[in-house]
Amino acid sequence: MPSKLISIIIPFYNEENALPLIYAELLKIFQGLKEKYDYELIFIDDGSEDKSPEILEGLTGQNNKVKYIQFSRNFGKEIAVSAGLQNVSGDAAILIDADLQHPPELISEFLQKWKNGADIVVGMRKNYKQSRFRKFCSYIFYKVQNAISDIKILPNETDYRLLDRKVVAQFNKFTERGRIVRGLLNWLGFKKEYVYFSVPERKFDKVGYNFPKLARLALVTLVSHSLLPLKLAGYLGLSITFLFGAAGFLLFVGKYIFNNSFARSFSGSAQLAILIIFLIGLVLSCLGFMALYIANIQNEVANRPLYIIKKKKNIND
């Protein structure tokens, strides 16, 4: 009899084509591991609008090890992963995407590293194809994120990872709503190992995360894990005030006391206009940073439910 239960968490949104394939792949993997491990498959439907719910209804009827949670609307992948982690029963949980961009055949390697003592096993991408623009934006994001935050996120880290039961228990204590699962897991610490993989060719045309979604995710990450942008606004304001105060004083002295030709070339109205426009831009930039933090605070203080479940199957209350 298998001695360990492994919970597989599969968040998805509009993946009607991929669901039968990922289900078949996972069954094949655990058929080969049945002497050591039992399994449960927890599918989290993040408000799909295609035929995904009907497919999951069929799978839960065929196999009681398939568990299904359907959200009332689209709450986002980070929330879907969190819902899965709050409903696991296993000794370890594995997060995997439904679109087969995370190779299921690596599960055996994940489990071996866990058996050898790792608390978290992280899937690391290599040879990942993306446009130069997205690659550049990704490079800038990770450079900024790791420069201003105490929580480091490696550029090729993925959500494909194994978590020991004690890691899941600690993760489920988090209460914030603007959450990035990778960042929170890195904040927890624990012993970590890595598995490197090449991303397979996408079997389906659509991409789950478009650029606007990635941009919002990046902003949430920066705001959630660092106060430096907010502090930077204050530092920048003080610096500009000092510099322009000094520059204004020097222009005044040069024009009206020393009669300097360079200082005379700036009329009073031109100087004032340049100064006002620059300071307005500075103030608006600072207000933008503060608005991000205020919005984050408002979301936390509102204390709304993290997600709303419309339906669930084979999940114990």
pLDDT over threshold 90, residue 121: yes
pLDDT, tens digit (0-9, with 9 covering 90-100), for 261-302: 655 555 566 666 666 766 776 776 677 667 667 766 766 666
Tell whether 279 and 168 lie within a shared domain: no
Q: How far apart are CA 138 and CA 153, in angstroms?
A: 12
Higher pLDDT, 183 or 15: 15
Tell whether 201 and 289 lie within a shared domain: no
Tell whether 127 and 195 lie within a shared domain: yes
pLDDT value at position 24? 92
Tell whether 253 and 123 lie within a shared domain: no
Of 93-97, 141-145, 192-196, the poorest mean pLDDT is in 141-145
pLDDT value at position 159? 84
Task: Provide the whole-model pTM.
Answer: 0.69
Name the domain count of the chain.
Answer: 2
User: Residue 12 is part of a domain; what is its CATH number?
Assistant: 3.90.550.10
Tell whether 233 and 278 lie within a shared domain: yes
Tell whether 144 and 175 lie within a shared domain: yes
H or E stretch including 56?
A: helix 52-62
Tell whether 142 and 250 lie within a shared domain: no
Q: Is the dihedral of CA 206, 224, 176, 316 positive or negative?
A: positive
**Percentage of the chain modeled with pLDDT above 70:** 60
Tell whether 234 and 218 lie within a shared domain: no
Within 10 A of 68 (CB to CB), how many other CB atoms are there?
A: 20
Q: What range does the domain containing 46 cover?
A: 4-223+306-313
pLDDT value at position 99? 85
Tell whether 198 and 240 lie within a shared domain: no
Tell whether 62 and 108 lie within a shared domain: yes
Q: Which residues contact 214 (CB under 8 A, 6 or more apart)?
A: 134, 137
Q: How far apart are CA 20 and CA 32, in angstroms?
A: 19
pLDDT value at position 212? 60
The pair of three-digit structure tokens given for residue 47, joined into one six-digit string: 């408000």
Tell whether 205 and 244 lie within a shared domain: no
Tell whether 297 and 183 lie within a shared domain: no
pLDDT, tens digit (0-9, with 9 covering 90-100), for 26-59: 999 998 888 889 999 999 998 888 888 899 988 9
pLDDT value at position 279? 73
